[in-house]
A and B are shown apart, each in its own frame.
Chain A
């Protein structure tokens, strides 16, 4: 370090949304913070890029629902350009030419479901209410650090007791219901409520997004709940489209962080951490520069943090083993299209509200299980589950007038191909073709309207965005990897076995999605521990 250079209280590795949130909170508490980003642009996987001139792809994450309202307020994000536009509809086309369109109008949705089941149409609203209620009760979990049942700290025990009382207060029936939810498959859980598959199939996919599980795999029911915890505008709604793409969320957080005094350097890859006597003392950049700080905060995933930046030589073998066991195994890819004009559905031609919401290609439970079957044996789904949005219909800033961008989330695309992950570059375009071909079954004029196609396989997500094995959540959101077990039992509170090294990203509680909670809770933990 050269004489007179700034001495940082914290260096945050990676300018993903959680790294930026963490930095902003530390700086607001008066700490001197430097954020180092490998790429030319902040945001990590919360990013919007102009890959094709005039078209702005939200390359990775594409919708928002869980960004904590208190973070939005604390960082005054609307002033920094954070705007969320409505995404109310869910459209599901079926192979037989029928379709289901659900939206925010309960009566309209009821009539739409009644085409398939009169009974389900009536139950649908009750289900939504029950899930929202469940989500609200579990919400304290995601707005604070994970309760630690192994702790002997009286404050921790008190907190646990309070949480237990909070849950017990809901009555036995509720507890039983919740326990079921924790262990069942998404399909089984939904089948307790609904009879028609046209509803169960598209609803069940919420349970598998970002996991290497199928809709009939046990434990997937719990992930459904995440969808009902989304709060937009403090009211309980499902999803929203960030204006300008998800990258604008990262930009808004970065602007708030800069205003609070955070220094952000892009194109500054961190090669490794400086670990001296079991203590993190700084970082070494790709160009060989050493930067020192009182603390180092990792905004990258647990694998990359410990097995990459720290190095196993600094870790206890058992801890290193647990990190290695922490399941990354990405299972999804992303295809982004620039379109010359809107494509039309064969089952519902023309322009309409069905195009501007969420479009789900999940026609049946068997279809989804077959898609999973391909993946289980190391191949991408020939006919995958897809979750599609056309944000340019609501936000004209992301495409030239009259033209559109289409974001297609695709599952399954297993990182571990049977030919090996490194074979992905050879299969990338075939994967893209499978996506477009499958989609063309529903949108016959899609192909002729494509101006540009970007295909992101899990391999690309790893190589370009630094997501180990392409896991969009920095580690699967399965029950055994949540709460006090995330990422490693005993290390769920953002601290690590390396002194002065902290974790602030989606690999920690409460997990992935554009939530910001890991970043904010990490900063809070660091300040409370007077680590910085």
Chain B
């Protein structure tokens, strides 16, 4: 049974829809209202406030902290400057991805790692022989994501941080209403946004301060349904949805390499050994079997399909994670792993895993679509991700 997060007292009072779900053992709001539209538009037009405390968090301290994390991650974390955050994944010995997350360098020998799955055991396993202490800070720290074009103004009002100087993927110490916090310019919406980290006991005052500062800017509390739409628009993958953690699956075919899930860019291959390096190098020589692609469904075709049933086109109201087969001719060449209607782009978009030979941009595949209990197909074009990438996201 899920337990309350540090922000629960506030979120439960606002969650008039009673729509909750289990996120990493915590009760998390799907949407505060019955529909998530307003929360979605808050992320994209004003500012959305999302409790992300269920993220797994680890503090790594010690003279070998950088070396440990560089060993574990596909990215060369030792190059990370203090006050910067990096996104990376980490693999098993066979170069199959275990998880992905961020790593923040808070000081020379102090890092904070976030992960979708519990990672304490893995940090310990990789960390043997390194002079580094590992703390599972998941329960100790409360985290709230403040995302959207107005998030900077909200923090400018709410905190003492030099918020305009905080670069994309930067992290800084700050005070909000007297509370010691960390502010990182990171998030999962692909928009301008921040995450604010506070000791558990400071969660409610932090929430209240942000809500008060955000009111003139149209801030709305937001839930996971809205987040899911934005992260698909941003082309961000999700563990357990768009790929699976290698140690947790039975079938070899379910495992993925960084290149296969679009995280090849995080791999720093030209350096000392790290977990999975040889396997990744071998894969690079021979080429990947799969590729993660963006698909854009033909709306005209969808309209015609529905018209043939005498119906207007209709799509699910929320982002979906049901795997849908993807075809080229009569052959299945992959699967859609996440799909959603993008209210902003006015497009039906999907993330899909397809055989590499069918991953070229502009290629037209077919995706399964069920109408009136009948499985039909609609054409979908391979397009580049992110689907949505506003300039404000990285703008100084």
Contacts and interface: CB of A to CB of B under 8 A. Distances in A.
A86 B43 CA distance: 13
A308 interface: no
A107 B312 CA distance: 23
A77 B346 CA distance: 9
Interface string B309-339: 0001111000000000000000000000000
A78 B299 CA distance: 15
Contacts of A396: 45-46, 150, 217-218
B218 A394 contact: yes
Contacts of A136: 312
15 contacts: A78-B345, A86-B41, A88-B38, A105-B33, A105-B34, A107-B34, A136-B312, A233-B341, A234-B313, A234-B346, A235-B312, A243-B45, A394-B38, A396-B150, A396-B218
Given A105-B35, A136-B312, A396-B46, A78 B217 contact: no
The 7 closest A-B pairs by CB, nearest first: A402-B216, A401-B216, A396-B218, A105-B34, A86-B37, A396-B46, A78-B346
A395 B41 CA distance: 9
Given A136-B312, A401-B153, A394 B217 contact: no
B315 A235 contact: yes
B41 A394 contact: yes
Interface residues of B, number: 28
Interface string A402-429: 1000000000000000000000000000
A84 B38 CA distance: 12
A85 B45 contact: yes
Interface in A56-83: 69, 72-73, 77-78, 83
Given A85-B41, A243-B45, A394-B218, A72 B34 contact: no
Given A78-B346, A396-B45, A396-B46, A234 B215 contact: no
A236 interface: yes
A83 B303 CA distance: 21
Given A72-B346, A78-B346, A136-B312, A402 B215 contact: yes
Contact of B343 (A77, A233, A393, A397): A233
Contact of A401 (B33, B217, B303, B344): B217
A104 interface: yes
A118 interface: no
A233 B312 contact: no
Given A88-B37, A104-B34, A396-B218, 10 more contacts: A69-B346, A105-B34, A107-B34, A136-B312, A233-B343, A233-B346, A235-B314, A395-B45, A397-B45, A401-B153
Contact of A394 (B34, B45, B216, B344): B45
A108 B34 contact: yes
Contacts, number: 64
Contacts of A105: 33-35
Interface string A82-118: 0111101000000000000000110110000000000
B344 to A, nearest CB: 6
Contacts of B34: 104-105, 107-108
B342 to A, nearest CB: 9
Given A78-B344, A104-B35, A395-B45, A73 B299 contact: yes
A348 to B, nearest CB: 16
A261 to B, nearest CB: 24
A234 B299 contact: yes
A376 to B, nearest CB: 40
A201 B220 CA distance: 33
B348 to A, nearest CB: 9
A105 B37 CA distance: 12
A78 B390 CA distance: 13
Contacts of B33: 105
Interface in B334-380: 341, 343-347
A104 B300 CA distance: 26
Nearest to A244: B45
Task: Among A69, A83, A234, find the residue whose CB has the most chain B CB atoms closer than 10 A.
Answer: A234
Given A86-B37, A394-B41, A396-B46, A234 B303 contact: yes
A83 B33 CA distance: 22
B234 to A, nearest CB: 16
Contacts of B303: 234
Nearest to A106: B34
B45 A86 contact: no
B303 to A, nearest CB: 7
Interface string B231-250: 00000000000000000000
A344 to B, nearest CB: 15
A397 B148 CA distance: 13
Interface string B149-165: 01001000000000000
A288 to B, nearest CB: 44
A395 B46 CA distance: 7
A83 B149 CA distance: 14
A81 B252 CA distance: 45
Contacts of B343: 84, 233
B262 to A, nearest CB: 23
Interface string A208-248: 00000000000000000000000001111000000100000
Contact of B344 (A69, A83, A397): A83
Contacts of A84: 343
Contact of A393 (B150, B218, B300, B344): B218
Interface in B193-215: 215
Interface in A145-168: none
Contacts of A236: 312
A366 to B, nearest CB: 35
A243 B312 CA distance: 26
A295 to B, nearest CB: 29
Given A234-B299, A396-B45, A86 B215 contact: no
Contacts of B35: 88, 104-105
A256 B50 CA distance: 36
A136 B34 CA distance: 26
Contacts of B299: 69, 73, 234
A318 B241 CA distance: 69
Nearest to A351: B215
A129 B37 CA distance: 21
Interface string B25-50: 00000000111011001001110000
Contacts of B46: 396
A135 to B, nearest CB: 10
Contacts of A233: 341, 343, 346
